[in-house]
Chains A and B, each alone.
Chain A
Amino acid sequence: MAAGPAGPVPPGGDDAAMGGAPAGGVDAAARRVRGRPVLGRLIRNAAVLAGGAVVVFWIFAALEWRVITPYDPFAVGPAHPLASPSRVHWLGTDDLGRDVLSRVLAGAAPGLTIAPAATLLSLLGGTTIGLVAGFHRGLVDDVLMRLVDAVMSLPVIIPATVVLALVGRSTTNVILAIAVLFSPLVARTVRSAVLVEREREYVDAARLRGDRSLYIMFFEILPNVTSPLIVEGTVRLGYAVFTAGTLSFLQLGIQPPSPDWGLTVAVERAFVQIAPWTVLAPALALASLIIGVNLAADGVRRALAE
């Protein structure tokens, strides 16, 4: 088993073992330790729904924050800096007197742009590499797998920090860094699915028909590996939100006065003792989004596995 570190580096093949391991034999030990699974399954379904609802809410906030924010998230209010939560400002104000609730609502946008963009790029890159490596095997495959091993073993934050700090901090660079670090992981998943598919009869048929290998890869095999690809995408998205948030907390991406959650926590950290709401609100918002994404991903994984 490839031992991936926690966080942005994916759990390896233990996904299957984590959830619905087949009930298997009716042996005594299993029967003794297994109860009725109904209640557990119900909790899971409720959790998946709740997670999906949270994600939908934040996507809505990211798209429509201009409409739903009670104040302009960028408007400074010198008269009332660091005001505690009240009926006027539900979540209080920050050091520049900006409304915290408005900034939290608007702060969903940067993360929800970076993470999906990086995920999509890593899916594109990883799928291409994985298809080629799995289909052709040989040298490409060997090189790719060594690369994957190397990336799997990296604490992603460290190479990302070093590269972004040295090369330049910007939203685009954050997206590219996450995409580059994640695509070998996507490639690994696609490759292992392709290894199974390439032995199927329809691939032989396509070959005999005289289809070119590019056509076979993208139009014959790709449609048959979409479900592992979708699962990989949802898992990767969760880690992308994690990584993007962390990088913006380290101030390596988007810069002030953006209301981005990670950035806000870093900037308002100085006022934690007198105005804890300024850091607590964006932190809890990011936590809810990440848990939501992961619960929803768990649901997608289960649905596709059945």
Chain B
Amino acid sequence: MARFLLRRLGLVLPALWLVSVLIFALAEIVPGDVARTILGPYATPDQAAALRHQLGADRPVPVRYAAWLGSFVIGRWGDSMVLHRPVRPFVLARLGNSLTLAAIALVCVVPISLGLGVVAGLNEDRPVDTAISLIGLSLTAIPEFVSGVIVLVVFGVQLGWFPIIAQPPPGAGPVERIHDLLLPSIPLMLVLFGYIARMARAGMVEVMASDYIRTAVLKGLPLRYVIVRHALRNALLPTITVIGSQVGWLVGGLVVVETLFTYPGLGKLIYDSAVGHDVPVLEATALLVAAIFMLSNLTADLLVAMLNPRVRYSD
């Protein structure tokens, strides 16, 4: 198990490094000049050059990359060029906000979609299955901002059950926070639902057709016992991997949902900093997103390894 973990961690670090190079390179080719951005259009060329020197922006690219990476690793993430504040505290606060939103979505959607996927798989090709599969397929395909706007109008405007801007007041208690975040979490759930249910269904169909299930049925076990004790464990293994990769996908959905509901999370931050060319913030945010993504995949793999000895001992 430890070797498995080490090997997987050994893959994550180079990947993160690659992401950091890519982001740095991308920020490098962007038209625009740090000094000009800070000083505005009326500064003289001499002033701009002086500031560039002071910021170290006139050094060669590899040197600046090394310096940036070095200070990033030890936790000095620089100052935002737009907000003129240190990057780290508010990026981490935004991360907390996004994780809360994502957690609400995941906690609600995983049991529902697993359950319905299993039901569909047990009723293969019956109307129940067709309905679940088609609805899931359709919901997965609808962009978050579309389903977001629809729930916004129905539950926020018409029924007035939820606020249309998801910004819980600073002193809000956990219940109020969760209540305010339910609406933005719905579009995230809808996209995930179809995909998770589909994987659970496929796993269930495959397992139910296998020899050991036939043996269990033929030796007279009650069907419910066969499903719960024999089938589920194997049927849901691939689905766990999928849920892990969904956490990374969630971050993509967060960009959209947080923009729609003006929620101060990481997704909105990556969008705002990219649009505003706020490179230090963008670099920090993008690296965080990449790290979360890889860690969630790693967690899913570990879970699978824990549940399935064949994976654990294969290497």
Contact = CB atoms under 8 A, between A and B. Distances in A.
Nearest to A163: B26
B126 A245 contact: no
A22 to B, nearest CB: 9
Contact of B217 (A32, A47, A163, A262): A32
A262 B293 contact: no
Chain B contact surface mostly: helix
Given A7-B140, A279-B153, A162 B282 contact: yes
Contacts of A4: 245
Interface string B279-309: 0001000100100010001000000000000
Give the most central of B140, B194, B252: most A CB within 10 Å.
B252
Interface string A267-306: 0010011001001100110110011011100100000000
Interface in A228-260: 238-239, 242, 245-246, 249-250
A166 B26 contact: yes
A250 B270 CA distance: 12
B57 interface: no
Interface residues of A, number: 69
A17 interface: yes
Contacts of B145: 245-246, 249, 262, 265-266, 283
Contact of A6 (B201, B246, B274): B246
Contacts of B199: 14
A155 B249 CA distance: 5
B209 A30 contact: yes
A30 B208 CA distance: 7
Nearest to A51: B138
Contact of A28 (B127, B218, B250): B218
Interface in A1-35: 1, 3-7, 9, 11, 14, 17-21, 24-25, 27-30, 32-35
Interface string B26-37: 110010000000
B141 A294 contact: yes
Contacts of B293: 153, 155
A287 B142 contact: yes
A167 interface: yes
A99 B277 CA distance: 36
A79 interface: no
Interface in B114-172: 122-127, 129-131, 133-134, 137-138, 140-147, 149-150, 152-153, 156-158, 164
A43 B251 contact: no
Interface in B251-294: 251-253, 255-256, 259-260, 270-271, 274-275, 277, 282, 286, 289, 293
A246 B256 contact: yes
Nearest to B274: A165
A223 interface: no
Nearest to B137: A294
A47 B138 CA distance: 11
Given A7-B252, A276-B158, A162 B142 contact: no
Interface stretch (B77-85, B94-102, B236-244): B236-244
A75 B146 CA distance: 26
Give the most central of A262, A269, A298: most B CB within 10 Å.
A269
A18 B153 contact: no
B274 A246 contact: no
A88 interface: no
Contacts of B191: 6-7
B214 A27 contact: yes
A66 interface: no
Contact of B123 (A33, A44, A245): A33
Contacts of B156: 272
B249 A18 contact: no
A138 interface: no
A158 B201 contact: no
A299 B184 CA distance: 33
A216 interface: no
A40 interface: yes
A229 to B, nearest CB: 21
Give the most central of B143, B158, B241, B259: most A CB within 10 Å.
B143
15 contacts: A5-B195, A7-B140, A7-B143, A7-B191, A25-B209, A30-B209, A41-B125, A43-B127, A155-B248, A155-B253, A162-B26, A167-B30, A239-B141, A242-B142, A295-B138
Interface of B: 23, 26-27, 30, 122-127, 129-131, 133-134, 137-138, 140-147, 149-150, 152-153, 156-158, 164, 191-192, 194-195, 198-199, 201-202, 205-206, 208-209, 213-214, 216-218, 223, 226, 238, 241-242, 244-246, 248-253, 255-256, 259-260, 270-271, 274-275, 277, 282, 286, 289, 293, 297
Given A157-B256, A272-B153, A279-B152, 17 more contacts: A3-B244, A7-B191, A9-B249, A29-B223, A30-B208, A36-B126, A43-B130, A155-B250, A156-B252, A158-B270, A242-B141, A246-B145, A265-B145, A272-B157, A283-B146, A287-B150, A293-B141
